[in-house]
Amino acid sequence: MGGENGTNMHYAKVAVMMLAILCDIALGCTLDFDEYNNNNNGNLATRLLLGLFGLQVVMQISIFLILFLAMADTFLFRVGLLMFLVKKFRLVLCFHVLSMAATAACGAYRVQKFMEGAEVKDLWLDTTFIALSSLQKIIAIPYYALNLRAVVKLSDKVYFDKEAWISLVKQKSRLSRRT
């Protein structure tokens, strides 16, 4: 990271991630409850719902890309120690997959039901939809927390300090020779 300019860039990534998370939260809160199809406006409502669902997927992809860019700034990434980063941030990466899958499943089911003429009140009587929506919201809580924690953690100087990693590797190799 290039001193203060690099630090400012990292804070910008944290801010943009927070904004993307807030947009994703807003979409997640409204898509299951707003009455898009209740005014007999069929195709318009379905297109609007598809667009908003697409926007939610774009927000989740953006959150992943911001995390990836934060990782790409680190010394470990620059010298090709990607597996260490993947191992260190495995949980948040797994939650990206889980969240995207839950969002896609819930969104696709919601759109399908609306295309069949269902209304919001019909969705909330459908046990499959209730299960998908609940699962999506349960996964979302650690997903958001882990992403924020990871991007803040990636601002730690240790991820950018070459000397710290060389001494850590030397220390581990000395310990492994003793055992």
Band (pLDDT 50/70/90 cuts) for residue 164 is: confident
Question: What are residue 111's phi and psi, to 5 degrees?
Answer: -60, -45
Each domain of the chain, given as residue ranges in start order, spans 3-155
CA angle 22, 23, 29 (to 5 degrees): 90
List pLDDT tens digits, range 6-44: 567 778 888 999 999 999 999 988 888 877 656 655 667
SS3 content of the chain, % helix, strand, coil (to 5): 85, 0, 15
List pLDDT tens digits, range 112-148: 888 888 888 888 999 999 999 999 999 999 999 999 9
Contact 55, 27 (CB under 8 A): yes
Six token digits for residue 22 = 């807030």
Residue 177 to residue 179: CA distance in whole angstroms:
6
Q: What is the mean pLDDT of the chain?
A: 85
What DSSP state is assigned to residue 161? -
Helices (H), 73-89: 75-78, 82-88
Please give the sequence-ordered ranges of beta strands (E in DSSP) within 6-159, or none if there are none.
none
Within 10 A of 65 (CB to CB), how many other CB atoms are there?
A: 15
Residue 90's pLDDT is 95
List pLDDT tens digits, range 58-105: 999 999 999 999 898 888 888 888 888 889 899 999 999 999 999 999
Six token digits for residue 94 = 């797994």
Residue 12's pLDDT is 86
Residue 1's pLDDT is 43
Max mean pLDDT among 44-58, 95-109, 161-175 falls in 95-109
Euclidean distance between the first and final Cα of the chain, in Å?
36
User: Which residue type is seen at 128?
Assistant: T
